[in-house]
Amino acid sequence: MQRRWIGILVLLGFLGAGSSSSSSSPSTYGQALTGAEDVRIAELTKSPEEYVGKTVRVTGLVEDVCPMKGCWIDILESDSGETIRFKVADGVIVFPVEVKGLEVVAEGVLQKKEMSERRAKSWLRHLAEEKGESFDESSVTGPVIFYQIEGMGAEVSR
């Protein structure tokens, strides 16, 4: 009888250990989430002008992280395959490279960025250098317009 109770207690111990790791709270970066409007990344990329200047909340996987300062993450929406950059001010929020591949819920204001050809070449060269990649300036043939979320806060689940 005593042996049976020990077996049950051991089993409960394993079950308890498993449940505590799955209920760990997410890591917060920046401000606490506010409950902004949930918007699919596919919707942002399809109709960005509808959301420019608005605070939005997106959910996805961290596809990439700024390797130099942790000042941006690219968020991938699995269903659509669409991504969006979540940019924060250097040093204000720092995303460690270890968050790559983890689930993220992020809030910020969608911004439209416009760059001259010269500025775009410089910026794209910088991005390539950050990642140790080559950059062909001839690939930029005019001004560049892109959209990104100016980040306020994010929660990453491990």
The CATH label, of 2.40.50.140, 3.40.50.800, 1.10.150.130, 3.20.20.300, for the domain at 27-157 is 2.40.50.140
Q: Indicate if the pLDDT at residue 19 is higher than 60.
A: no
Contacts 24+ apart (CB under 8 A), 64-71: 64/100, 65/95, 65/96, 65/97, 65/99, 65/100, 66/95, 66/130, 67/97, 67/130, 67/131, 68/130, 69/94, 70/94, 70/95, 70/96, 70/97, 71/95
* Residue of 103, 106, 76 whose CA lies nearest to 158: 103
C-alpha span between 146 and 84 (Å, rounded) = 10
Q: What is the pLDDT of residue 24?
A: 76
pLDDT band at 23 (very low <50, low <70, confident <90, very high): low
Higher pLDDT: 34 or 130? It is 34
Separation of alpha carbons 128 and 144, rounded Å:
16
132-151 pLDDT per residue, tens: 889 999 998 989 999 999 99
Residue 3 pLDDT level (bands cut at 50, 70, 90) = very low
Given this model, what pLDDT does residue 68 score?
85
* Euclidean distance between CA atoms 44 and 66, whole angstroms: 22
